[in-house]
């Protein structure tokens, strides 16, 4: 909520709306996955089972960590001038998500597969949301996004067309 408020108050309302939609839709996917799988929790420490609630797969903490922290870093770091600093912040968010996942297994409220599944679902959802936002931004700016493989990149380079590989745009 603080991130959304901060983005909104800085005039980045579109990013605040996008982040809110991505997180809420990721949370809905998590709830649907729990309902669809119905996997019971492990019973390692019985006193922890009373407050754990619900089913085990996927781990909600593990699934929502890459969505909340990963997308949060992507949104916050977008205006930063240093790509290395943005990557470092994203690596820290990933490490934090992994630590959360480890803690869920450590305290005995999830199986390791619950955590791995949650991390994979959350990362996939985050990647999809970020890709969608990137494509939308390119479409609004009138630029064309082209996926370019190494062979095509070499072929296009021979034809005197400049290729920007970082954002995978082909520009005359």
- Answer for the pair 169, 143: CB distance below 8 angstroms, yes or no: yes
Active site residues: 61, 110
Task: Give the single-character DSSP code of 1.
Answer: -
Structure tokens at 52: 């754990």
Of 116, 120, 154, 61, the C-alpha closest to 165 is 154
How far, in Å, CA of 40 to CA of 58, rounded?
Answer: 11
- Answer for the pair 90, 27: CB distance below 8 angstroms, yes or no: no
Of 6, 13, 110, the C-alpha closest to 65 is 110
- Answer for the pair 122, 97: CB distance below 8 angstroms, yes or no: yes
Phi/psi at 38 (nearest 5 deg)? 55, 40
Any idea which residue has 């943005």 for tokens? 86
């Amino acid at each position: 909520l603080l991130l959304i408020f901060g983005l909104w108050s800085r005039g980045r309302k579109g990013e605040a709306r996008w982040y809110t939609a991505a997180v809420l839709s990721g949370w809905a996917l998590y709830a649907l996955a729990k309902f669809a799988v119905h996997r019971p929790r492990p019973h390692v420490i019985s006193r922890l089972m009373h407050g754990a609630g619900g089913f085990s797969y996927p781990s909600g903490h593990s699934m929502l960590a890459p969505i909340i922290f990963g997308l949060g870093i992507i949104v916050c770091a977008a205006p930063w001038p240093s790509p290395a600093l943005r990557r470092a912040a994203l690596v820290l968010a990933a490490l934090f998500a992994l630590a959360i996942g480890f803690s869920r297994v450590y305290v005995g409220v999830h199986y390791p597969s619950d955590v791995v599944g949650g991390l994979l679902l959350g990362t996939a959802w985050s990647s999809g949301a970020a890709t969608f936002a990137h494509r939308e931004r390119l479409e609004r700016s009138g630029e064309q996004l082209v996926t370019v493989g190494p062979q095509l990149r070499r072929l296009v380079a021979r034809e005197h067309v400049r290729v920007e590989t970082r954002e995978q745009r082909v520009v005359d």
